[in-house]
A and B are shown apart, each in its own frame.
Chain A
Amino acid sequence: MDLLSYSLVDLIPFSRETYFRLFERYNIGVWPAPIIGLAMGLTALFTARRADGWVLRAPFLLTAACWIWVGWVFQIHWYAPLSWPGIYFGMGFVLQGVLMAVVLGWGPILGSPEATDRNHGPGLWILLFALALQPLLGLLSGRPWYGLEVFGSAPDPTALATLGLLLMIRHPLRWLLSIIPLAWCLISGATLWVLSVPTWPVMPLAVVLYLGVIVWPWVSGRSQLE
């Protein structure tokens, strides 16, 4: 398929109304998954602030499970029928979940001293935003509470929370784990922009913030993360 002959609008063949209704139908259809996802997010939030033993891996394993759920259930079974790239998004989400589980939930992180060397500043704020504030942004667009996007079952807060978690650790493969969440932030921002959703800049701004926090120590000559 000649992807270069298609524009961004071609990849989003639905209206804003249909997109919002998708989340309403999805939340009802998979209930109580949104509540379970949110509970997992809160668990990740509290365990992420601990730095000892298996608890270190808990937020990443929980988040990895959420990526797989969102990829398989939301992207492939709910989103893809509306827009064919959803299949590829779904595969990307599942891959991200597997990568996180393998890289941060298995051996390599154990005994890795730098893995526990965490900075809770910007990462914690991004995580808090993704869990508590980002879902409420939907209300600004006039969406009902049962159509809000929450961590663990919807892609945007899950991706954003993951970036927050990744900022809270140092790991040699952090760059690898950042690729898909960052890419999704840009894809989602573009989708919301095409749909004229007023909150579209949130996800692209998260990319800027994330890369800024990563790059700042090199730019400034200071090692803020150490």
Chain B
Amino acid sequence: MDRSCVSSRRAFLAALAVAPLSFLVQPDKAWAADGQPITKPIPSTGEPLPVVGMGTWISFNVGGDPVARDARTDVLRAFFAAGGGMIDSSPMYGTAEAVVGSCLARLDRPEGLFSATKVWTSSTAEGLEQIATSERLWGLQRLDLLQVHNLLNWQGHLQTLSAMKADGTVRTIGVTTSHGRRHAELAQILETQPIDFVQLTYNIADRDVEARLLPLAAERGIAVIANRPFQGGSLIDRVKRHPLPGWAREIDCTDWSQVLLKFIVSHPAVTCAIPATSRVDHMEQNMAAARGDMPDAALRRRMAADVAAL
């Protein structure tokens, strides 16, 4: 395991230079060790993105509950204190966007935020209104990433998003799926559409995407966001009944969440994972997965085999 010491600035400049070949970068060669989390470049822009981001499905859908909003603000504070970047949400997630926007405002819009949300409507025209609503809820004039949620009307929305990107009203665009749905259609989109990001389900137990979609994304220079890293909690509930394997220490893991996250983000084609949590201690554990050594290909195979055998 190699641990390079590079500053975030140097990592950014280096990433710019190698962005088109970023899928070839071995994750264990790209580490920052200056207290900042490990980053990987977004292939289309070269911008470094911390390999552990944050999802908001369920965890940030708390409505107007002031107690819960306080707790989520603490979670976000811990996220940014640990060098977090990407926050991913969707209009489908109830009040999650409003809650994220409220928390960001209370934290004075922390630096480093990479805002990612989605458009989720069957109507292309309504998509524009929905995007405007999302910008208002987040409290941002321009979002960093807009994705077509669950491929819903992706043909219509990608036209809109491409036009917005050309206008500079959104920085990057992409599409999403989850739970392994519609992979054939997703592959078609990756092959034919000029997108920056693809979001899909990938974790140590759901590895179908390794066969085609991840290599395809790498070949096309598309950043990959891995959702459901813990299978919505069921995966971590299953593995945490067992003691950490000995190899966990080799990659600086102190708990199972870090093992599961390091497995995901150490895949050369994966840009970041987006675990969701409503607890500060879990957030700190998750963000610790963006530090230290990462597994190489041989250890990744062993990790998958050992977890499958549990």
Which residues of A approach B to under 8 Å, CB–CB? 1-2, 5-7, 9-10, 13-15, 17-18, 21-22, 25, 78, 81-84
Q: Is the CB of B181 within 8 A of A25?
A: no
Q: Is the CB of A13 within 8 A of B94?
A: yes
**Complex: chain A residue closest to B93, CB-CB:** A13
**Complex: chain B residue closest to A1, CB-CB:** B122
> Looking at the complex, which one of B63, B92, B150 makes contact with A84 (CB distance below 8 Å)?
B92
Q: Is the CB of B152 within 8 A of A2?
A: yes
How many A-B contacts if CB must be within 8 Å? 54
Is B278 positioned at the interface, with any CB of A under 8 Å from its CB?
Answer: yes
> Looking at the complex, which one of B59, B95, B278 makes contact with A82 (CB distance below 8 Å)?
B95
Q: Is the CB of B94 within 8 A of A84?
A: yes
Minimum distance in angstroms from B92 CB to a CB of chain A: 7
Q: Is the CB of B94 within 8 A of A9?
A: no
> Looking at the complex, which one of B96, B181, B232 makes contact with A5 (CB distance below 8 Å)?
B181
B:66-93 near A, CB below 8 Å = 67-68, 92-93
- Top 9 closest A-B pairs, CB basis? A82-B94, A14-B61, A1-B122, A13-B94, A13-B61, A18-B62, A21-B65, A13-B93, A81-B95
**Complex: chain A residue closest to B62, CB-CB:** A18
Q: Which residues of B contact A1 (CB under 8 A)?
A: 121-122, 152
14 contacts across the A-B interface (CB closer than 8 A): A1-B152, A2-B122, A5-B150, A5-B182, A9-B232, A13-B58, A13-B96, A21-B67, A21-B68, A25-B65, A78-B63, A82-B63, A83-B94, A84-B92
Q: Is the CB of B122 within 8 A of A15?
A: no
**Complex: chain B residue closest to A82, CB-CB:** B94
Which of A9, A21, A25, A82 has its CB near the most chain B CB atoms (within 10 A)? A82
**Complex: chain B residue closest to A24, CB-CB:** B65
Q: Is the CB of B64 within 8 A of A25?
A: yes
> Looking at the complex, which one of B92, B95, B278 makes contact with A15 (CB distance below 8 Å)?
B278
A2-B122, A21-B65 known, 18 other contacts, Cβ within 8 Å? A1-B122, A1-B152, A2-B152, A5-B182, A10-B92, A13-B58, A13-B93, A14-B61, A15-B58, A17-B68, A17-B278, A18-B62, A18-B68, A22-B63, A22-B65, A82-B63, A82-B95, A84-B94
> Looking at the complex, which one of B68, B92, B182, B278 makes contact with A13 (CB distance below 8 Å)?
B92
Is B238 positioned at the interface, with any CB of A under 8 Å from its CB?
Answer: no
User: What separation, in Å, do the CA atoms of A10 and B122 have in the docked complex?
Assistant: 17
The proximity string for B residues 90-107 relative to A, scoring 1 for CB distances below 8 Å and 0 otherwise, is 001111100000000000
Minimum distance in angstroms from A167 CB to a CB of chain B: 36
Is B3 positioned at the interface, with any CB of A under 8 Å from its CB?
Answer: no
Question: What is the size, in residues, of chain B's interface with A at 8 Å between Cβ atoms?
Answer: 24
Q: Which residues of A contact B95 (CB under 8 A)?
A: 81-82
Q: Which residues of B contact A13 (CB under 8 A)?
A: 57-58, 61, 92-94, 96
> Looking at the complex, which one of B58, B92, B121 makes contact with A14 (CB distance below 8 Å)?
B58
> Looking at the complex, which one of B67, B94, B122, B278 makes contact with A81 (CB distance below 8 Å)?
B94
The proximity string for B residues 146-176 relative to A, scoring 1 for CB distances below 8 Å and 0 otherwise, is 0000101000000000000000000000000
Q: Which residues of A contact B63 (CB under 8 A)?
A: 18, 22, 25, 78, 81-82
**Complex: chain A residue closest to B66, CB-CB:** A25
**Complex: chain A residue closest to B179, CB-CB:** A7
Q: Which residues of A contact B152 (CB under 8 A)?
A: 1-2
> Looking at the complex, which one of A6, A7, A21 makes contact with B62 (CB distance below 8 Å)?
A21
**Complex: chain A residue closest to B178, CB-CB:** A10
Q: Which residues of A contact B61 (CB under 8 A)?
A: 13-14, 18, 82
Q: Which residues of A contact B68 (CB under 8 A)?
A: 17-18, 21
**Complex: chain A residue closest to B123, CB-CB:** A1
Minimum distance in angstroms from A224 CB to a CB of chain B: 45
Minimum distance in angstroms from B200 CB to a CB of chain A: 15
Q: Which residues of A contact B122 (CB under 8 A)?
A: 1-2
Q: Which residues of B contact A15 (CB under 8 A)?
A: 58-59, 278
Minimum distance in angstroms from B184 CB to a CB of chain A: 14
B:237-287 near A, CB below 8 Å = 278
Q: Is the CB of B94 within 8 A of A14?
A: yes
